[in-house]
Structure 1
Amino acid sequence: MQPASALRHIKANIVLYGALFANLGIAVAKFFAAAISGSSSMLTEGVHSLVDSGNQVLLLYGQARAKRPADAFHPFGYGRELYFWAFVVAILIFAIGAGVSFYEGWRHVADPEPLRDPTINYVVLGIAMLLEGTSWGIAVREFDAGRGGLGWWQAVKRSKDPAGFIVLFEDSAALLGLLIAGIGIWASHWTGDARLDGYASMAIGGILAAVAVLLAREAKGLLIGESADAALVGSIWDCLEKRPEITAVNHVRTIHTAPDAVFVAVSADFDDDLLMGEAESLIEIIEAELKAADSRITSIYIRPEKQGDAVVYPRPPRGAVVSR
């Protein structure tokens, strides 16, 4: 990769790279602190940061794989491979992040370790808060720039790019986990009960499990195949309905083949007086107009079909929201 190209790649994936470098540094510090202090919640947090680092690597790998050009075996490209890796990320968070957290917490509750000086834990937690907060701020800024005035939850549900909201959820869970770890460590030393640190570890596991389930649900919808947003579907209907040569639009079907690529299938009833050559020219004009209007439209299939013979899906109400 050329230096200029590499710089553009990093800039385009600033959220993932920011989270990756932050989590790698934090993981090392947390494991070091856990080894010195014997804290269960700190060990859990180290595993959490390590899993998050691996997740960012998988998402970057998925993005690279998704950009491969179409071929004979995948005529619409490999864009949806990113959705597969997003689903794998959710599984890893649940299986490793939440699983290890629950196990370590239960082990320290069943067999508490003697309390040691917690100072190193507080230092590491403070540094981790600073780094995680920076990564979280980058993720929030980038996601906020692309939500187009939608509410945060609505923007997540309508997003077709899992990288942005996965990092946002991971960093949010990480900040909450750091807070719980700090409370658990403090409570253990204040009460003299080392089991409280184990309970904090289990609470962190619960947060990770909840985030994993949420991410798996969002990734599943993308992997199965989701339609384009209502605004894009509406603009396609507008383009078709304004044509006097088209007497009826039977249906407009769309599916995302990548976060920034949409396949469009149209069934329309053409005027009976339209000659075959004229219909072919009209279809070419419509395809060119649609692609020029929105760069996400990469493939279009327009089928002339009598309304009485076609499967008819009425136009969605204006302002309708397509969600999972």
Structure 2
Amino acid sequence: MGIAVSKFGAAAFTGSSAMLTEGVHSVVDSSNQLLLLWGRKAARRPADQFHPFGYGRELYFWSFVVAVLVFALGAGVSVYEGIIHILEPEEAVSPYVAYAVLGIAFLLEGGSTLEAFKEFRTSKGKLSWVQAIRRSKDPPTFIVLLENGAAMAGILVAAVGLALSQVTDNPFFDGAASVVIGGILGFTAFVLAYESKALLIGEAADPDIIAGLRTLVGGKSGVTAVGEVLTVHSSPDQITAMISVDFDDEQSARDVERLVWTIEREAAERFPLVRRLFIRPRGSPPGLEVEPNGSVAEPN
């Protein structure tokens, strides 16, 4: 918010359109951080009779709201202000004040971006950056990284636009910089909205966890086949899993119950993110056989 106030002050003093849009961008960023903090807090509420799976998706909802705000307030205002400035040019006064503010903002944003970069690099492991963002179930980790990256890019664009306006004595470049900043924010908002929407409507667990659950269940004596393994993230650290299992028909009901209990206990130990595991016994109709992948096939 301090950076936003300084940018607005510089915009009022210099008349720079790019500085004004940068101020709006900083306000949006600050508001988004508050929304993400609230989302994290709300997501920790325990399950109740109205929400038996908990409130974990609150975080995904507020992450989507953040993406909408970046697009509407960040990109929309930037493009609008840039077009107005292009149509009605206004000479910048004392642009060196704007350079000083942009320089300080770049250093502060750079420190925050570096911390977000280190945290995300550690969490992504061997995945590429694109794969890590697409597979991430914790939106704030990549939202902060992308927003800070967009903020630093916007600062550089604002500085270039201001410099070109000063060198050429043409305020067009300052307005054009605002439009470019709006484009950067619009692209960032699209990525954030796309990833947040996927989590909001329900996204499966990591393929390694799904494969691990299938191997765990399929390796148990008394299990003849494993069918569907359905998973969904209710929050970044909570997975609900449902597995269709064909048990050996020679077992008693008590043996099956004991086997299910063993599977649930071992799954909880090996996969802490799997908070709920539902196992559905599945048998084959008379005259049919269950394949190892869980499909039912007619005998030859």
TM normalised by structure 2 equals: 0.95
Q: Does 1:280 align with 2:262?
A: no
Distance 1:261 1:105 in 2: 44
SS of the residue aligned with 2:26? helix
In structure 2, the partner of 1:257 is 234
Task: Find the partner of 1:152 among 114, 129, 134.
Answer: 129
In structure 2, the partner of 1:79 is 56
Distance 1:314 1:37 in 2: 68
Contact 1:105–1:201 (8 Å) recurs in 2: yes
In structure 2, the partner of 1:29 is 6
After superposition, the CA RMSD in angstroms is: 1.6
Contact 1:38–1:113 (8 Å) recurs in 2: yes
In structure 2, the partner of 1:171 is 148
Instruction: Supply the AA of the counterpart residue of 1:116.
Output: V
Q: Does 1:114 align with 2:86?
A: no
Distance 2:234 2:136 in 1: 13
Change (3 A) 1:314 1:165: farther
In structure 1, the partner of 2:67 is 90
In structure 1, the partner of 2:277 is 300
Encode CA deviations 1:122-146: one digit per residue, 9 max, x unaligned: 0001001100100100100110111
Encode CA deviations 1:168-212: one digit per residue, 9 max, x unaligned: 100111111000000000100111111210010011001101111
In structure 1, the partner of 2:104 is 127
SS of the residue aligned with 2:158? helix
Task: Find the partner of 1:207 among 184, 187, 194.
Answer: 184
Q: Does 1:102 align with 2:79?
A: yes
Task: Find the partner of 1:235 among 187, 199, 212.
Answer: 212
The size of the alignment, in residue pairs, is 292
Contact 1:248–1:307 (8 Å) recurs in 2: no
Encode CA deviations 1:12-46: one digit per residue, 9 max, x unaligned: xxxxxxxxxxxx22111111111110100000000
Q: Which has the larger radius of gyration?
A: 2
Distance 2:187 2:216 in 1: 43
Name segments (4+ residues, structure 1) moved above 2 Å. Answer: 307-315
Instruction: Supply the AA of the counterpart residue of 1:109.
Output: I
Task: Find the partner of 2:222 among 245, 266, 274.
Answer: 245
Task: Note the C-alpha offset of 1:314.
Answer: 4.2
Task: Note the C-alpha offset of 1:148.
Answer: 1.6
Task: Note the C-alpha offset of 1:312.
Answer: 8.8
> Larger deviation: 304-313 or 150-159?
304-313
Distance 1:126 1:314 in 2: 59
> Larger deviation: 114-123 or 50-59?
114-123
Distance 1:303 1:197 in 2: 63
In structure 2, the partner of 1:16 is none
In structure 1, the partner of 2:36 is 59
TM normalised by structure 1 equals: 0.88
Unmatched 5+ stretches in structure 1? 1-23, 316-324
SS of the residue aligned with 1:113? coil
In structure 2, the partner of 1:180 is 157
In structure 1, the partner of 2:200 is 223
Q: Percent identity, aligned pairs only?
A: 50
Change (3 A) 1:82 1:190: same
SS of the residue aligned with 1:268? strand
Contact 1:251–1:311 (8 Å) recurs in 2: no
Distance 1:149 1:256 in 2: 22
Q: Does 1:198 align with 2:175?
A: yes
Distance 1:32 1:281 in 2: 70
Instruction: Supply the AA of the counterpart residue of 2:74.
Output: G
Unmatched 5+ stretches in structure 2? 295-300
Contact 1:268–1:307 (8 Å) recurs in 2: no
Instruction: Supply the AA of the counterpart residue of 2:277.
Output: I
Distance 2:36 2:87 in 1: 37
Task: Note the C-alpha offset of 1:77.
Answer: 0.4
Distance 1:294 1:241 in 2: 16
Change (3 A) 1:312 1:51: farther
